[in-house]
Structure 1
């Protein structure tokens, strides 16, 4: 397929469900280059429903599930349409839609991962072919289905003279270790913003802790922190992945000490949990890393970034922005790349990262009306 002049559009709403990121991407010598991007807000009521379901607070019957799938699809379509309206759709070859994850359970007798946001709705409304359902082929091959970003991290940020870590601070944190010898692996380390966002929403009525100010006004409770870090997930060997279905408010509140603490001290402890679990993962799995490049919404939490930077010394912590890569839209860029891989019939997973039995072509194609 000759797509030298084609554009691809990537869509994703991450674990925090803080908005739908849309990225318009072109490919120069097969490398993704961001052309334009935006974040489309969720209607508050719909975001509330998504978070309640993702945290296992609300059970859906089939009718409610179907309506939610279509409602999310319409919001994804609106995000794509907004970006297409200011760039034109004629040269857009396909939209890669990650959707919204409601459940991610890649272990057990019948492992599965579930992303919703009806791709047929997106194709119908945008008039562009859509590629979606990227994770299940990897899970079917025995993999975790996540993370899928390391291949793009390697293309854009690997250096032959150093081991480097790319740190994605979304609702869940994940790291990609780019070895000086060309090896690539990665995994989810645990919570990044998701627990802090949920606790902030409950106790402050706002969806996230701007700049980490709420956490900064509290004190870390070391006893609670050690209880939280005792969760077996943190010491599981990779490949591994997780999500809000594990690290949610009910998980937090199952620790009795939470009830005796002020909300602000719990928030401070949650920020330290995010920082400490990331740092311990890097020290265990990338002890020779020279630097750490951060992306995702957590780069805007100054307190979290400061804490990470202090504990990562002598490694240098920087935003991917210092390498010309917008930290807010790297994930959406990756799903544009994954859509292109699907249309080219090329694999999108890295078995060394996900644990799948081999490379797999990811995603299903939903054609636009002709």
Structure 2
């Protein structure tokens, strides 16, 4: 039996939500898969969801498929210029599509579905370069191979159309956040803690959150990308489980100040970033004057960097925020959530609770994969998926390229 999302919660009950939905059937109603492999490059999250106009989406199954070390290493190597890039990217894309296909087959099995029951797979791909200021963004993928392996229509390359229209191509999830998490009575912030942190600001919208002109969203800075890098170096593990490494250290204020001395943090939105800026080389340059610091103190300070950079953006752009809802991998890090709540208090937002999207009926690890299933549905029905006020694009655009089964 599927899980119906967003059960009744305070300020976000079903009565409020149904006023934003049409009861007219959509040609694109049906079952979709969403696949998301993020900046952390540890694997792909998948979700099978049924969309029916006028009703909450129903999750039929979810799955996680990890990446082999060889694939992860190949993806990391493609973050920087190097020899034989075209062939290396093509081989990595084929290997990536194979992992996506495994995830799709896991979803088919778990939901007891035949491929013909699925309208489309929405797949983000793996970002290796993101340079919207130069007019391009690059997500490794082989959607043609994925369609061949699954016999399901594939929708991919969501970001390029927004960039072609002069936008950042990111973040793309705020329109989805508005539909899922908006409130008629209070301003909320949805904070994704993936490799990079980003926020969506959802102003109170009189019951029509999806259409609210004031919805904004943008990247804030590094999150797990630097925390994972440091944990790998000093723990030999891909991430700091439960934030325990950070909790064993203390925030070093001079280092935090040095980390915050980066023009991106003062840049006005729309803005987006990635490993092109926040990477191991950036971190090593910043750490060069702090070589004697205990590794645990560096980890604690990196957690504080994530928290402070988010809190500052909330103070600047959502001072009337009443709650922050966290999704993404960082939602499993209690120390990071605690640091964010403390940073909000110090920035003047005392009393603003920080919780995961579980509080709104959507498990944190569902959110991004669910968003790309939703974007695939929008593409199939030829409905715009971007918010120009968020990305800076010249207008609303249908996002994605379709690869038929």
TM > 0.5 fold call: yes
CA distance in 1, matches of 2:110, 2:391: 36
Q: Which runs of structure 2 are paired with 1:56-75 in the superposition (5 Å)?
A: 56=80, 60-75=84-99
Match of 1:90 in 2: 116
Match of 2:226 in 1: 195
Q: CA deviation at 1:74?
A: 1.2
CA displacement 1:85-118 (0-9 Å, x = unmatched): 22213321000010111111111xx321100120
- Of 296, 301, 306, the residue aligned with 1:264 is 296
Instruction: Kindly report the root-mean-square deviation, in angstroms, between the aligned alpha carbons of the 2 structures.
Output: 1.4
Say which SS state the counterpart of residue 365 (structure 1) adopts.
Answer: strand
Q: Which runs of structure 2 are paired with 1:80-159 in the superposition (5 Å)?
A: 80-87=104-111, 88=113, 89-107=115-133, 110-159=134-183
- Of 288, 292, 315, the residue aligned with 2:324 is 292
CA distance in 2, matches of 1:342, 1:158: 22
Residue 41 of structure 1 pairs with residue 98 of structure 2? no
- Of 76, 84, 98, the residue aligned with 1:51 is 76
CA distance in 1, matches of 2:294, 2:352: 34
Say which SS state the counterpart of residue 260 (structure 1) adopts.
Answer: coil
Contact 2:78 2:85 in 1 (8 A): no
Structure 2: 5+ residue runs without aligned partners? Answer: 1-25, 206-211, 345-349
Q: Which runs of structure 2 are paired with 1:165-314 in the superposition (5 Å)?
A: 165-181=189-205, 182=212, 183-255=214-286, 256-312=288-344, 313-314=350-351
Q: CA deviation at 1:123?
A: 0.4
Q: CA deviation at 1:58?
A: 5.4
Residue 10 of structure 1 pairs with residue 34 of structure 2? yes
CA displacement 1:280-329 (0-9 Å, x = unmatched): 11111100101111111111101111111233332111111011101101
Q: CA deviation at 1:84?
A: 1.2
Match of 1:78 in 2: 102
> Which stretch of the first structure deviates more once superposed, 154-163 or 82-91?
82-91
CA distance in 1, matches of 2:228, 2:358: 23
CA distance in 2, matches of 1:286, 1:33: 31
Residue 325 of structure 1 pairs with residue 362 of structure 2? yes
What TM-score do the two structures reach when normalised by structure 2?
0.87
Contact 1:215 1:265 in 2 (8 A): yes
CA displacement 1:337-365 (0-9 Å, x = unmatched): 11111110110100010000000011111
Q: CA deviation at 1:64?
A: 1.4
Q: CA deviation at 1:63?
A: 1.5
CA distance in 1, matches of 2:62, 2:82: 33
What TM-score do the two structures reach when normalised by structure 1?
0.95
Contact 2:159 2:169 in 1 (8 A): yes
Contact 1:32 1:337 in 2 (8 A): no
Say which SS state the counterpart of residue 34 (structure 1) adopts.
Answer: strand
Q: CA deviation at 1:20?
A: 0.1
CA distance in 2, matches of 1:125, 1:326: 29
